[in-house]
Amino acid sequence: MTEAPKMEKDKSIPSPAKPLSKEELSFKVKEFPTKYGASVVGITTRETLAGGPPSANISYVLKSARSAVTFAVPLDEDKTCNYLGKIDREGHQKDYTRAGVIATGIAAQLASFVEQFGHKAVAVMSNLVFRNDKPGELNHRYPDISHRYLAVRGGLGWFGFSGNVLTPDHGPNVVFASIVTDAELDPTNPLPQEDNYCDDCQVCNASCPSGFFRNGRKDQVTIALGGIGFTYTKRRSYDRCSYVCSGHTGLHQSGRWSTWSPARFPIPKEDEDLAQHRSEASEAWLERPEPPGGGLQSPITYGKTKRDIPLTCGNCMHVCHPDKEERKRRMKLLQNGGVIIQHEDGSLQSVSPEEAKEHIAAMNPERRALYETRHPEALDPEHYFVLKHHSQYDKSKRVGSDLSKS
């Protein structure tokens, strides 16, 4: 069967809408997203993004691109707090999906709106679209366009210590999306750095079980976008975040609280040890029952595992708020929210740290291996977070223990 030829737009046919001036269109593309629920909007251009990292190159999605419009849709704060406090995971999962679908929907509608004035325009989804540089590679994924870079340059927010983009009203608790167009638009300015509310409070660092920000302020990254520098903290290996954020493991090194992951696989202190532990934790993740409430629809993960990705972390984003007292309150919610266990039907429950340990200790070795490493005795606790909270940790120190045979 021969493929039908692709229909090129006939340039002699006038656009359905009466053309707008650059000024009129620039005004309208900023107003449009706010009518559908966006909290902030900004415009970047080829010139204001010049010299940036590869994912600030808007011509990756549209060769003739001249401008981009980026906007943010806020998450529901009550649902975020119930998630942080380990009261309700499902509500936040649905809310995150809702915000992502609204942001992506605004992008699709705005792209169509701009096209009807005779311009080319492409909607860039909020998340889960990656460059095809290394097909099938789960851990080397770069977005088509980084909404973050466009957001800081276009004046939607500032980089915080965490590297998340902090918007003035909702902090990083938003979902970004963009359109890229060949229309010429007036760029918006970055927000004044002196108004950045990030005061280095380190709550985001304390909320991260993976140790992603452990290098503190001493390592910083500065990117240049159109001649302006933007700085944030250098983060450690992205595999470190994805190991925890994907739900492979989730107990904090204190053993007192966890993410929504019911697993407690060891978290290596050094990045180079991550790969060897990830495989045991990945196999366990695949074998564990899927928790209720759905997950992210990632085509790359689904193609490889036939699984969705239930949200289990995102703490560094959710604890950060423009109000410092609210940050402290959210951190307490997280720390006092207990440790997640999983029942055989897949459901999750928050219990005390002691009950969680007993719950895992009571499992037979095969089921226990879904939640913690089979071989704690082979690892040096000096080099791993979480290891000393293994349910068999004391027994494993005995030579020839049952554990070492399981």
Write down the least CB distance from residue 241 to ligand SF4, Å: 3
Torsion of CA 332, 348, 100, 157, to 10 degrees: 20
- In the complex, the smallest distance separating the C-beta of residue 203 from ligand SF4, rounded to whole angstroms, is 4
Cα separation values, 351 from 86, 256, 330, 338, Å:
10, 10, 19, 5
User: Smallest distance from the beta carbon of 247 to ligand SF4, in angstroms?
Assistant: 10
Q: Which stretch binds ligand SF4 (CB under 6 A): 102-110, 178-186, 238-246, 394-402?
A: 238-246
CB-wise, 196 or 404, nearer to ligand SF4?
Answer: 196
Under a CB-based contact definition with an 8 Å cutoff, are residues 67 and 50 in contact?
no
Which CB sits closer to ligand SF4, 171 or 187? 171
Give 159's strand partners. 165
If one asks whether residue 296 binds ligand SF4 (CB under 6 A), the answer comes out as no
Q: What angle do CA 294, 296, 299 make, to 5 degrees?
A: 125
Nearest residue to ligand SF4 on Cβ basis: 160
Under rule CB under 6 A, which residues in 189-218 are in contact with ligand SF4? 198-204, 207-208, 210, 212
**Part in contact with ligand SF4 (CB under 6 A); list of ranges 5-13, 21-29, 145-153, 154-162:** 154-162
Q: Select from 75, 241, 274, 309 the one that contacts ligand SF4 (CB under 6 A).
A: 241
Residue 337 lies near ligand SF4 (rule: CB under 6 A) = no
Choose one: 43-51, 118-126, 155-163, 339-347; the region binding ligand SF4 (CB under 6 A).
155-163
Provide the minimum distance between the beta carbon of 118 and ligand SF4 in the complex, in angstroms, as a whole number.
42
Q: Which residues pair with 180 in a beta bridge?
A: 68, 122
Q: Is 84 a binder of ligand SF4 (CB under 6 A)?
A: no
| Closer residue to ligand SF4 (CB): 211 or 376 | 211
Q: SS3 of 212, please?
A: coil
- The answer to whether 151 contacts ligand SF4 (rule: CB under 6 A) is no
Residue 75, interface with ligand SF4 (CB under 6 A)?
no
Please, what is the minimum distance in Å from the beta carbon of residue 333 to ligand SF4?
14
Q: Assess contact for 127 and 148: CB atoms under 8 A.
A: no
Residue the block writes with tokens 């099938």: 136
Among the listed residues 67, 162, 249, 342, the single contact to ligand SF4 using CB under 6 A: 162
Residue 158: name the closest of 208, 194, 203 by CA: 194
Residue 245 as a binder of ligand SF4 (CB under 6 A): the answer is: yes
332 Cβ neighbours under 8 A, 6+ residues apart: none
Rounded-to-integer distance, Cα 389 and Cα 379, Å: 13
Q: Is 178 in the site for ligand SF4 (CB under 6 A)?
A: no
Q: Using CB under 6 A, which residues numbered 311 to 330 contact ligand SF4?
A: 313-316, 319-320, 327
Of the candidates 271, 270, 279, 269, which has an alpha carbon nearest to the alpha carbon of residue 248? 279
Amino acid, res. 156: L
Check binding of 271 to ligand SF4 (CB under 6 A): no
Which of 23, 391, 1 shows the shortest CA–CA distance to 184?
A: 23
Nearest to 204 by CA among 235, 229, 242: 235
Looking at residue 371, its amino acid is Y
Residue 319 Cβ, how far from ligand SF4 at the closest point, in Å?
6
284 binds ligand SF4 (CB under 6 A): no
Residue 210 CB, nearest approach to ligand SF4 (Å): 4
Among 341, 358, 359, 362, residue whose Cα is nearest residue 350: 341
Q: How far apart are CA 17 and CA 183, in angstroms?
A: 14
Closer residue to ligand SF4, CB minimum distance, 48 or 242? 242
**Closest approach of ligand SF4 to the CB of residue 67, in Å:** 29
Query: What single letter denotes the amino acid at residue 394?
Result: D
**Rounded CA gap, 227 and 49, in Å?**
8
Cβ at position 257, least distance to ligand SF4 in Å? 12
Q: Under the criterion CB under 6 A, does residue 333 sit at the interface with ligand SF4? A: no
Return the bridge partners of 240, or none: none
Decide: is 331 part of the binding site for ligand SF4 (CB under 6 A).
no
Q: Give φ, ψ of 9 to 5 degrees.
A: -65, 130
> Are 149 and 54 contacting, i.e. CB atoms less than 8 angstroms apart?
no
Q: Which residues bind ligand SF4 (CB under 6 A)?
A: 160-162, 198-204, 207-208, 210, 212, 241, 244-245, 313-316, 319-320, 327
